[in-house]
Structure 1
Amino acid sequence: MKIEDSMELPVILVASGVLLPGASLKIPIKSKLNIRTIEQHLTRGGAVANNYVVIAYKVSPDKVYEVGTIAYVEKLFGWTFNSTVHYSLDVVGLHRANIDKLSLPTCVVSKIVDSPGADFNHTSIESLISGAKLLALNSSSKNISHEILNLIDEHDYTKLADLCVSLIKFLGFKQLLEFLGTKEPEKRIDLCVKWMGERNENNTLELKLPSSIVPASQKPQNKGRKVPNAKNQVEQLEETLNGIEFTEEISDRVFSELHRLKNMNSQQSEYNILLNWLELVAALPWNTSTVDDIEISKARTILAESHEAMDDVKQRVLEHLAVCKMNNSVNGMILCFTGPPGIGKTSIAKAIAQSMGRKFQR
């Protein structure tokens, strides 16, 4: 099927998560409208009948954002639980599209095509490339790293900006919609560079870029205040690490990496990766623990109140807790929950934490 400039396609409505061109997204299908769309337009005899959909974004109960994403359906999962059919979609973004006429479960869209020969700012492109290379280094996926480097080699900066923004974790729904709806490629690149240069102060695991890749217009001005430099930052980190009681093995590894960091130039790309790792180590609750309070009757009540059915799962959890209580230890014991999104894996884990008096972490 060829993507025309204007065409009618099935619609999947989402209220969180934004699919950018070149990125991928897993969408759990929960609403009756989306289920109807899948059953009427995407499946035929158990197989995928239509590989293209429009991802439309609900910004309020009765309003859909004016720009959507034409997407290719890579995989369609379907399963039955408690006599109810559930679906999940794996989609890849292809194009931005104006939603011209919405008539659920389909809509008429017109593909948004970037103007050829856009006049990109040289400084912005350099900043984009520097930030993209750092993202490639931080990525745990070799495929994403290769894709980033290929786009740099091909000088495809608009697709590169789309891919980079899709990898910045701290961006919210509104920010991603703003980026999706920005039709001028040079403005999208500027937004991408701006966001790559921002530090997410609330989470040391997020992307952190050296100030050298931030455009001059985005750099904070020093108005007489003393700004901590990289050396002071490392000294503070070392002081924090010295106050933590590590085991000998962990201590050797941590302070070996700290020594390597102190002898590294702060402009090296690996510097920020190593700094982030050490900040994470320093932030972990090494000397903090909770006392387990395992009461089988209490756990049974919490599981029953928080989840309907799922009797086999709840019984297995109770057996696991009973063994922990009998052995008076939970060290080394792991439960692994598998299955598609939206079937209750995380909520079961939260219920287990609540029943044991532990703080839930993910």
Structure 2
Amino acid sequence: MNDTPETLNLDAGIESIPIPEILPVVPIRGLVLFPYTIVPLAIGRRLSLNAVNEAHAGNGLLLLLTQRDDTLENPAPEDLFDVGCVGQVMRMVKLPDGNVSALVQGLGRVRVDYLSRTEPFLEARVSPLSESELGPLAPELEATIRSIRDGLEKIASMGRQMSPEVMLIAAGLDDPLRLADLVTANMGLKTDEAQTVLEAVDGRERLELVHRLIEKETALLEMQHEISSRVRGELDSNQREFFLRQQLRTIQKELGEIDDLEQEIEELREKADAAKIPETARKEVNKQLRRLGSMHPDSAETSVVRTWLDWIVGLPWSNLSTDDLDLKKARTVLDRDHFGLDKVKERIIEILAVRRLNPEGRSPILCFVGPPGVGKTSLGRSIAEALGRRFVRHSLGGVRDEAEIRGHRRTYVGAMPGRIVQGISQAGTANPVFMLDEVDKLGADVRGDPSSALLEVLDPEQNHAFRDHYLGLDIDLSKVLFIATANVTDTIQPAFLDRMEIITLSGYTEEEKLVIAKRHLVPRCIEETGLKVSQAKFAPAALKLLIAGYTREAGLRNLQQKISAVCRKLAVDVASGKTGPCTINPALVERLLGPRP
């Protein structure tokens, strides 16, 4: 800053202190500085620190401008109000973290003529705002001033924090405009309301504005007191009702009666006994049962605890299905449902053989990787049938929230367990075949990384004590046979991939597709469309045309769609009475489906 700047006097300033026309600027948030008021400021932004240091090293004067948006960290000139207050740094203390604590006294209002963002701080050219004289006080104006004084006392009596010094100064002030500024600065108004008062240079307009703001604040405080009194009365009423209900329960017990909530608690206790819940979890269940018994039946917390207990007693803690380890039957099931895939079937038979010889051994985590339609999901269902276990499938495609896996904490409204616990509950046994479909399509965002949560699920060293956020208890997943599916492995986390055994399903040859179409796809499509076998006989040449000419894929999904399309068109003819038994040849395929692509 220039050491010999052009100066000006502020009409509202303290003792007409000469003010330079160019001042360093400190943007402030959530606060408006008024003349004659002293405020403490905590300053930490770089430009503001430089401006305060510059002012403190010179004449101690700076310009405080309020930000239009409190959330901006580095406001531009257009983000600051055009009218501010010149302040004088009375005391400044440098803190250990490099920030500054300063005590600043307001001198007078100024308008910013030009504001530049220069280094090392913001700088403004200012001109004073001259206040209009009030002149002789008319009765109406005297009444307004008296209402302002009375309103300030009323606000203080209703609980608004007002220091005794402020009340003492307000009682002794003869200058109505200084009184208006003092009241506005200490009333805790919104920033835009206080800024409106700062910009009001007409004395009468300022007094009327402050009077309206005091009336508004008084009305808000009265409403707040009314609401508080009503809530306090309702709380007293609820407490009285609670004690009466407790007495009623005691009387009912003496008479051998029991209310609905007590009966429900007893049923939950019986279910908990039947579920054979582990000892550590049972302690928490007993605690929540006692807590439920002391609650009001209609309270929101009662519903939360009741729902939590329903989930706990409904889980199959010790309900295990018996594995069917007949290798011959397993081969029959796999060959019946899937043609080809010999290496995959052999690996599954190996798993069953190892489990037969070592029932307590750990199950591997299989991951079927292959293009769509090669039978990854149906293969998992066949494994469950071969083992005699329940089958559960959850698709993880597009899941981006960790809570989808671990569940939401009970503090959230509508909280539920994660997909793992839901799947175990759905299966009804503690050792189902659990398929995690589309694991390569998991995502991550600000809510967490679901794949990281799955690491605990798939790690044999950890999954015996998996903790769901909603339940808050350890769940044993070591007996579950997890199977994952994916189209590619590129998008799977290395740590996640490392816990799984990759089994690649590359696809089917044309000969394998032809056999599968004859055995599975054609009968299924004929049944779905309501045709009879005699009404839709596919010639081998027609199937070969569909495979080679209309579908070019590793899997069978498009082939099934084309066969289904042919059957639907035949169904239209049959429903219209146009045709009887029909053999589908290549020419008919081209007529029904159009030219091959």
Q: Which of the two has higher C-alpha Rg?
A: 2
- Larger relative CO (CA 8 A, sep 6+): 1 or 2? 1
Question: Larger helix proportion, structure 1 or 2?
Answer: 2
Query: TM-score under structure 1 normalisation?
Result: 0.50
